[in-house]
Amino acid sequence: MDREERLEKIYDKALEMFVANGYDQTALSQIAKELGLTKAGLYHYFSSKEDLLFFVHERHMNRVFNPILEAAQKISDPEERIVYFIRNYTLKAMTRDASARVLVHETNNLKTENRQKITVLWRNGLDLIRNTLSEMEDQGKIEKINKNFAAFALLGMCSWTFYWFDYERQESGEELADTYVRVFLKGILKAS
List of residues contacting its own copies (CB under 8 A): 22, 104-105, 108, 143, 145-146, 149-150, 152-161, 163-164, 175-176, 179-180, 182-188, 191
Neighbours of 126 (CB within 10 A): 14
- Residue pair 104/152 in contact by the 8 Å Cβ criterion: no
Complex with its own copies: residue 37 or 151, whichever CB lies closer = 151
The torsion of the CA quartet 12, 15, 16, 20, rounded to 10 degrees, works out to 180
Q: Which C-beta is closer to its own copies: that of 35 or that of 187? A: 187
In angstroms, what is the minimal distance from the CB of 2 to its own copies? 37
Nearest approach in angstroms of CB 173 to its own copies is 10
* Least distance from its own copies to the Cβ atom of residue 102, Å: 10
In the complex with its own copies, which residue's Cβ is closer, 75 or 183?
183
What is the smallest separation between the CB atom of 123 and its own copies, expressed in angstroms?
10
Q: Which residues contact 107 (CB under 8 A, 6 or more apart)?
A: 57, 115, 118, 119
In a 13 Å sphere around the CA of 18, the CA atoms on its Cβ side amount to: 27
